[in-house]
Structure 1
Amino acid sequence: MNRIISFFKGKGFYLALSLCILAAAGSSFWAIRNVMQKLGEGGTSQVEQGGTQQWDIPGAQVEEKVNDVPKPSARPSQGSQSQSGAGAQQGQAGGSGEPADAAVPSFVKPVAGQIVQGFSGEELVYNATLGDWRTHNGVDMSCAADAAVKSAVAGKVVNMYEDGLWGQVVEVDAGETVWRYTGLDKTTLKVNTGDELEAGQMIGKIGETMAETGAETHLHLEVLKGGNYVDPEHYFQ
């Protein structure tokens, strides 16, 4: 009897621990069983051939409402209309990037004839009257002996003088360019320094250009831009 009591005294702690573990295991088993029973009431499980357990989900859809959602407009935005319109106008204008109604500077032929000698730039050409080679800084336009000389563009008369080689000269400032009319008849001049001229307004009549008397009657016309000679024909239309 004493041996039995001694045994339980030595092993009593472990025995009590074992009983606690068994009790906890039993409680867990019953808790899991209750949960499984409740789940079984909400939906039936199906076991497929692969052994995977699936639960049936109720077919009722949950209604979700979203407020203040903007509705799409059937009309295009003003920005898209402006861009489209601008693209169409640019296409009609030839894609130049300038307004279709941009003003084009008016130009009038100063005399009715054709160009008989052009602008040479830096190239030397032979001058039959002077017998030498030099640049031709303008264009020569043929005309009748008493032809009226008109202002090719609108501008202001800024200078009038006589030159030993080019005869009576009238210079008209057109803004970016200065137009120089030479070989005029001084007695026929219709303008004075400071006059504002319109394109096509008469300056005077043709006279004589001493540097080019070997050629037929003509107007020697020069154009300067920034103080440099440029080809007058560039501005002809």
Structure 2
Amino acid sequence: MEQFRKFLRDKGFVLALLACLVAAAAAGVWAVRTVRDELKENLDGLKTPDSTSTLPGIDQDLTLIPEEEYPEWQQPDTPAANSVANVPKAELPSASSSSPSSGAASGSGSVREPSALQGGSSSASSSAAAASTQPGFGKILNGYSGDELVYNKTLGDWRTHNGIDYAAKAGEAVPAPVAGSVVLAGSDGSWGPTVAIKDDAGRIWRLCGVASPKVKEGDIVAAGQTLGKVGSVGCECAEEDHIHLEVKQGDAYLDPAKCRN
């Protein structure tokens, strides 16, 4: 008996410590299992949520509309003409209206028969008719062609006609179309006898076919003053007697019918 007491006294502390360790281990195991079971329940709840459960702050009466049941937006079918009032309609130009044609460069322009520039009924003659109001000039034989090519009977080729041909009787007086200073009074190459006058605007008025000139270079002449007599225009001698009138502004030829003093 004394030995058992001695054993308990010697080993009692160790046994008590061992018992505490076993109790602590058991408590730890129980705690771990409890936490594991709770985590598993929470995870299972997240994976398979209750369809009737709601999230905080979300109205339980909120319902979702299936995509196929969304109402389709329809634009009002209103005629465009009724949306804006009093808008004038654009009108296309009629087929009968035409814009003025632009002339081509000399030598590459369009070609017209000489008859197109002759006679009072032609468009070119009509445009040049105003020049016939200048003193002493008769009817128009050939009008100003601009960049269009016309046939020259004398030279037998196609070229531009840079002036207006006025019918005139040989030997009759040739009046000055404008007032100005005489810059040429004599022969001018193939054009024959020519008188040229420079007006106040700087334009040169050339009258080809003026024989027996009564003026000389440097003279100041008045409109209607006699310059000479009707002669022959060398490069247009196949035509009937006439005076060829040209107007130049620098290097450009102008339509004499559109030039005024």
Question: TM-score of the superposition, structure 2-length normalised?
Answer: 0.47
Total equivalences in the alignment: 129
Give the strand-richer structure, 1 or 2.
1
Question: Residue 218 in 1 paired to residue 222 in 2?
Answer: no
Partner residue in 2 for 1:181: 207
Partner residue in 2 for 1:192: 216
Extract structure 1 runs of 4+ deviating beyond 6 A. none
Match of 2:151 among 126, 130, 143: 126
In structure 2, stretches of 5+ residues that fail to align are 1-131
SS of the aligned residue for 1:125 comes to strand
Give the AA of the match of 1:129.
Answer: T
Task: Provide Cα deviations, 1:150-169, integer angstroms capped at 9, x if missing partner.
Answer: 11111000123313311011
Question: Residue 162 in 1 paired to residue 187 in 2?
Answer: yes
Q: Rate the CA distance shift 1:209–1:110 in 2: closer, same or farther, 3 A.
A: farther
Q: Rate the CA distance shift 1:116–1:214 in 2: closer, same or farther, 3 A.
A: same
Of structures 1 and 2, the one scoring higher in RCO (CA 8 A, sep 6+) is 1
Task: Provide Cα deviations, 1:141-187, integer angstroms capped at 9, x if missing partner.
Answer: 001111211111110001233133110111100022110011121xx
Partner residue in 2 for 1:16: none
SS of the aligned residue for 2:159 comes to strand
Q: Rate the CA distance shift 1:110–1:205 in 2: closer, same or farther, 3 A.
A: farther
CA contact (8 A) 1:114 1:142 kept: yes
Give the AA of the match of 1:203.
Answer: L
Give the AA of the match of 2:238.
Answer: G
SS of the aligned residue for 1:219 comes to strand
Give the AA of the match of 2:158.
Answer: W
Task: Provide Cα deviations, 1:114-138, integer angstroms capped at 9, x if missing partner.
Answer: 1111001111100011000000010
Partner residue in 1 for 2:41: none
Partner residue in 2 for 1:201: 225
CA contact (8 A) 1:108 1:153 kept: no
Question: Residue 229 in 1 paired to residue 249 in 2?
Answer: no
Q: Rate the CA distance shift 1:224–1:174 in 2: closer, same or farther, 3 A.
A: same
CA contact (8 A) 1:108 1:199 kept: no
Cα distance in 1 between the residues matched to 2:232 and 2:180:
24
Task: Provide Cα deviations, 1:10-44, integer angstroms capped at 9, x if missing partner.
Answer: xxxxxxxxxxxxxxxxxxxxxxxxxxxxxxxxxxx
Matches within 5 A, 1:132-171: 132-171=157-196
Cα distance in 1 between the residues matched to 2:214 and 2:133:
17
Rg bigger for which structure? 2
**Superposition RMSD on alpha carbons, in Å?**
1.9
CA contact (8 A) 2:154 2:238 kept: yes
